[in-house]
């Protein structure tokens, strides 16, 4: 059965769940005198306790969910990341590893197994997971599939580390889920997109004059582009990104940060033809552009401005280590060996699965070019991880 949007119709329990979140969103809008910033709407839709998309219990990842992330395809992605940061872990005494948003736990599982093979196990593998349901699933998966000695290294955090630490911070598809500000240009002035209610209580987009923070962030983008954005242009930005990077990485006194996500350098992010932004929603492996469709049952994301990420990382006191496509990053960090191992297998299901995993991770029409990797370092060497296809000239 399909919905009026051409998307699968949810069951009665799922629709009731979404209706409860709609009530929360409507109450928030009425409490704020009739309108809330789109970023606040997105925050509640994704993270409202017990009801938001990432806070509730529905399956998110894999074939049964709404989208597939690189770690869900198999161990290759995590193994290559492990190869990339192995020199950093090897060079530090008692290093830690912090994964932001652990998904199903698939990345941690493959990373820890490979780190043991390479003799670079972090003393502590921490996952910062805001969703109680996902945390429970991660704990169950890792407890069942890791040897007790490896599972004993795992820890779950409610917030960023509260004291100085050394090691590696890793975030795969985290930045795209940060609540994003939507803005528009009207008569040369900057407006921010808000969400209001129509006469029937439905959600309605309205533009209001932007505050100083949003206005300054948009003007910074325009200065970087060397031209004002055109009349009617609408897009996204993360004015909070420098503060967020400082909050999650500021106490990393020695080590590296790696971010993987879909996005563009700034000049490609704000192309004239991309005049309605990059917002995309995921529901049952279908992508569409309506953030008001069944709140709580779909993911809401925006592409990443990697130039803004580079600025934020350097502003937080890190050295810029490199920037490349996901395909280039994997090739530089052990992918050829994994291809050879897969091709050496006898014909059969496992050989096909591994080669298909590698194709999806690397082909331009799959994840290879759409996803990109950016690294930062502090008193360690990480640039070798970006030895193939470095793209920082495009930033």
Non-local (6+) Cβ contacts of 363 within 8 A are 327
Q: What per-residue confidence (pLDDT) applies to 21?
A: 95
- Which sign, positive or negative, has the C-alpha torsion 264, 265, 269, 273? negative
CA-to-CA distance for 357 and 351, rounded, in angstroms?
10
- In the structure encoding, which two tokens stand for residue 151, read together? 């599972």
Residue 128, phi then psi, degrees to nearest 5: -95, 105
User: Could you report the per-residue pLDDT of 166-184, keeping only the tens digit for each?
Assistant: 999 999 999 999 999 999 9
189-197 vs 203-209, strand pairing mode: antiparallel
Here the tokens at position 126 are 């921490």
Q: What is the 3-state secondary structure (H, E, C) of the chain?
A: CECCCCCECCCHHHHHHHHHHHHHHHHHHHHCCCCEEHHHHHHHHHHCCCCCCCCCCCCCECCCCCECCHHHHCCHHHHHHHHHHHHHHHCCCCCEEEEECCCCCHHHHHHHHHHHHHCCCCCEEEEECCCHHHHHHHHHHHHHHCCHHHHCCEEEECCCCCCCEEEEEEEECCHHHCCCEEEEEECCEEEEEEEEECCCCCEEEEEEECCHHHHHHHHHHHHHHCCCCCCCCEEEECCCHHHHHHHHHCCEEEEEEEEEEEEECHHHHCCCCCCECCCEEEECCEEECCCCCCCCCCEEECCEEHHHHHHHHHHCCCEEEEEEEHHHHHHHCCHHHHHHHHHCCCCCHHHHHHHHHHHHHHCCCCCCCCEEEEEEEECCCCHHHHCCCCCHHHC
Per-residue confidence (pLDDT) for residue 3, from 0 to 100: 47
pTM: 0.94
Which residue, among 380, 341, 343, has the nearest Cα to 114 in the 3D structure?
A: 341
pLDDT in tens, 281-323: 998 778 899 999 999 999 999 999 999 999 999 999 999 999 9
Contacts of 350 (CB under 8 A, 6+ apart): none
Weakly modelled stretches of the chain, pLDDT under 70: 1-7, 57-67
Torsion angles phi and psi, residue 43, rounded to 5: -60, -45
- Tokens 């502003």 correspond to 315
Structure tokens at 357: 């995993």
For residue 162, the model assigns a pLDDT of 93
Please name the residue that has the structure tokens 């970087």.
Answer: 224
Write down the mean pLDDT value for the chain.
93
What is the spatial distance between Cα 367 and Cα 386, in angstroms, rounded to a whole number?
A: 17
């Amino acid at each position: 059965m399909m919905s009026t949007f051409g998307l699968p119709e949810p069951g009665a329990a799922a629709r009731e769940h979404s209706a409860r979140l709609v009530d929360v969103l409507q109450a928030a809008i009425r409490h704020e005198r009739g309108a809330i910033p789109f970023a606040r709407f997105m925050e509640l839709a994704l993270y409202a306790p017990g009801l938001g998309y990432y806070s509730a219990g529905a399956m998110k990842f894999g074939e049964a969910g709404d989208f597939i992330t690189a770690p869900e395809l198999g161990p290759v992605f995590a193994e290559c990341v492990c190869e990339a940061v192995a020199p950093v872990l090897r060079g530090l005494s008692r290093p830690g590893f912090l994964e932001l948003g652990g998904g199903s736990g698939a990345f941690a599982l493959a990373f820890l197994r490979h780190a043991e093979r390479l003799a670079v196990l972090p003393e502590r593998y921490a996952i910062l997971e805001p969703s109680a349901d996902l945390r429970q699933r991660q704990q169950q998966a890792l407890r069942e599939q890791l040897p007790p000695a490896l599972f004993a290294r795992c820890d779950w955090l409610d917030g960023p580390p509260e004291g100085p630490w050394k090691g590696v911070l890793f975030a795969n598809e985290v930045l795209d889920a940060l609540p994003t500000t939507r803005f528009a240009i009207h008569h040369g002035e900057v407006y921010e997109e808000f969400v209001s209610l129509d006469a029937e209580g439905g959600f309605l987009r309205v533009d209001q004059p932007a505050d100083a923070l949003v206005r300054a962030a948009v003007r910074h983008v325009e200065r970087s582009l060397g031209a004002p954005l055109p009349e009617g242009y609408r897009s996204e930005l993360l004015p909070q990104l420098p503060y967020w990077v400082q909050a999650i990485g500021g106490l990393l006194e020695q080590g590296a940060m790696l971010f993987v996500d879909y996005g563009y350098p700034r000049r490609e992010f704000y192309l004239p033809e991309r005049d309605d932004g990059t917002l995309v929603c995921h529901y049952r492996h279908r992508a569409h552009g309506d953030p008001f469709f069944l709140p709580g049952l779909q993911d809401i994301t925006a592409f990443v401005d990697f130039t803004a990420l580079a600025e934020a990382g350097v502003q937080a006191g890190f050295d810029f280590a490199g920037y490349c496509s996901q395909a280039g990053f994997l090739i530089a960090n052990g992918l050829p060996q994994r291809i050879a191992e897969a091709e050496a297998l006898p014909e059969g299901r496992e050989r096909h699965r591994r080669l298909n995993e590698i194709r999806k991770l690397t082909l331009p029409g799959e994840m290879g070019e759409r996803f990109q990797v950016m690294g930062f370092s502090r008193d360690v060497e990480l640039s070798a991880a970006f030895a193939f296809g470095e793209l920082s000239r495009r930033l």
